[in-house]
Amino acid sequence: MKRSPFALGARVLCILATALFMACQAPAATLPTAAASKLPAACRSHCVSPFGTVLGVADGVPAYSNCSAKCVDLKPVKADGVYTGIKWQCVEYARRWLLKHKDAVFADVDVAADIWTKIHHLQRVDHKGTIPLQNDPNGSPRPPSVGDLLIYARAYLGTGHVAVITDVDLHSHVIKVAEENYRNRKYPGDYARKIDLIERHHRYWVLDPYVLGWKHATEQRFAGSRLTPAARHSTRR
């Protein structure tokens, strides 16, 4: 029996549609990428968020997951040709944030806690001088402000931690920070965490364990509790 071209075409379309449906239902292969396979073992397993995942963006600066605090990937990161640190550590994020908003970075440190005692200024990327930094210990008469670096003691994980203060609300008694390699969780908004801030007898306290205080750039590009526009420019942990 001879079939019409129309019937044959309809049959072919039916077969193709069935094959397409079955392909869509089949589980996708999950092979590790070449880049992922080169990561240290601690950066590939038991991750809070997969290594390199964008956790959020604060003031135009994305933060990436470091998997967990145990992960150390020594590959260097550069932003617009300027070395900011090793992937994706808290020090790297702090440098990259300062680079975007102050056109400056701070020098090498062994661990984040060393920023408190060993870093006294920011170096301008254009090599036109430095920006002095002032230490305000937790309990300081000067409240934290946007752009300050919140520094944690070495007792925290043996390395300390650094976060960038991105908002200060003295009425609600809270600050917001941006950071990498603290919880490695997705940001709830344009910040990583909110931290309580109290004032007692004209002194200010950030209520977070291990906080030493905040480092304040004495030449500011910020106004009030939010950033003012800054020109974009974008060197070791």
For the chain, give the mean pLDDT: 84
Distances (CA, A) of 59 to 23, 33, 97, 166, 171: 42, 31, 8, 8, 22
Q: Which of 218, 194, 188, 219 is nearest to 207 (CA)?
A: 194
Name, in order, each residue with C-beta under 8 angstroms of 214's C-beta and a sequence gap of 6 or more.
136, 138, 140, 144, 148, 149, 150, 151, 165, 206
Distance, in Å, from the CA atom of 92 to the CA atom of 164, rounded to the nearest integer, reads 11
18 has a pLDDT exceeding 80: no
Rg over alpha carbons for the chain, rounded to the nearest Å, is 24
Q: Which of 141, 123, 143, 125 is nearest to 133 (CA)?
A: 123
- Active-site residues: which are they? 90
- Length of the chain (residues): 237
30: three-class secondary structure by DSSP: coil
Mean pLDDT of 127-148: 96
Choice among 26-40, 127-141, 159-173 with the minimum mean pLDDT: 26-40
Mean pLDDT of 202-229: 76
Tens-digit pLDDT profile for residues 185-200 = 999 999 999 999 999 9
Distance, in Å, from the CA atom of 191 to the CA atom of 57, rounded to the nearest integer, reads 7
Element (H, E) at 6: helix 5-25
pLDDT over 90, % of the chain: 74
Contact 209, 156 (CB under 8 A): yes
Tens-digit pLDDT profile for residues 148-186 = 999 999 999 999 999 999 999 999 999 999 999 999 999
66 has a pLDDT exceeding 50: yes
Distance, in Å, from the CA atom of 112 to the CA atom of 134, rounded to the nearest integer, reads 16
Q: Please give the pLDDT value at position 180.
A: 98
pLDDT over 70, % of the chain: 77
CA 66, distance to chain mean position in Å, is: 9
Domains and CATH numbers, the chain: 34-224 (3.90.1720.10)
Task: Name the band, by pLDDT with cuts 50, 70 and 90, for residue 220.
Answer: low
Q: Please give the pLDDT value at position 5.
A: 46
11 has a pLDDT exceeding 70: no
